[in-house]
Amino acid sequence: MCAAINSSEFRRLPPEPITSRRNPLVARLRALHQARGRREQGLLLLEGTHLLQELLRLQLQPQQVLATAAWMAAHAELLAPLAQPVQPVGEAVLEAVATTETPDGVVMTLPVSALPRALDGAPFVLALDQLQDPGNLGTLLRTALAAGVHQVWQAGGADPHQPKVLRASAGAVLALPVLRDPDRQGLMQRLERARAAGHQLVATLVAPSAEPYWQLDWTRPTVLLLGNEGAGLHPQLEALATHRVTIPHSPAVESLNVAVAAGPLLLERWRQERMPAN
């Protein structure tokens, strides 16, 4: 006689594998590739083992996890901490749901409501104006998190919740509050409030009149302004700046990529706080 299965054991039994790309779940998750689908469902689509590890490290629970049998067999240690059973899927189904050409075997969803929320008075803020490239945005968010930025303000540009940004940021969006206004006007209002509260607004320029970035006191409450990849910082935002800095470099190149330039600027605060001048 078979032993009876209690209700808690039944809930942990894995669901039946999904092998058809026509399954309704596939269409629902594919809709998360687009901003409209994310808004309507209130979910993000995350892909790959690393992002699942980041979720668990931050003690966040995915709403649903889809994985191939091969991935589940190779990552048993990641199954135990999950609150819900993993949904097994065929490789063709996973490829249909994922945005990458060669997914590593697992995708998951996370409620947008689980992301960190911004608090008033953050002492170190990164403000981005119309940054268009998802790779640049993801890199910037990762660097901002490493540099101790407390929140990021965006004026339009790439959606920080799209899968490419989530991958490029290596999960930084899961730990760093990002406030995105649809246009520049919203960002300008935030900047004006920050300046009135005593923050220094720092614009980065390629100009001889700007001081080298390391001469600025970055330990003060600060908002760093970075502009669009092509046009740079908009004149309206530059006009709000209280300080203007530059990154001296060889004249062999006219300017630096915005994601590259952000590295020394953001990390200078970290350096000054830990290596104060004698």
Average pLDDT over residues 162-176: 92
Average pLDDT over residues 152-174: 92
Average pLDDT over residues 131-156: 93
Distances (CA, A) of 183 to 71, 134, 190: 42, 17, 12
Question: Collapsing DSSP states into helix, strand and coil, what is residue 77?
Answer: helix
Pick the CATH number of 14-114 from 3.40.50.300, 3.40.50.2000, 3.90.320.10, 3.30.1330.30: 3.30.1330.30
User: What is 124-274's CATH superfamily?
Assistant: SPOUT methyltransferase, trefoil knot domain (3.40.1280.10)
- The reported pLDDT for the residue numbered 254 is 58
Residue with tokens 């049998």: 69
Question: What pLDDT digit, counting tens, does each position of 19-42 carry?
Answer: 999 999 999 999 999 999 999 999
Stretch(es) of the chain classified as CATH 3.30.1330.30? 14-114
User: In this model, does residue 136 exceed pLDDT 70?
Assistant: yes
Closest CA to 226 of 198, 253, 255: 255
What's the rounded Cα separation, in Å, for the pair 130 and 123?
A: 23
CB 204 within 8 A of CB 212: no
Average confidence score pLDDT of the chain: 88
Q: pTM score, two decimals?
A: 0.87
Stretch(es) of the chain classified as CATH 3.40.1280.10? 124-274
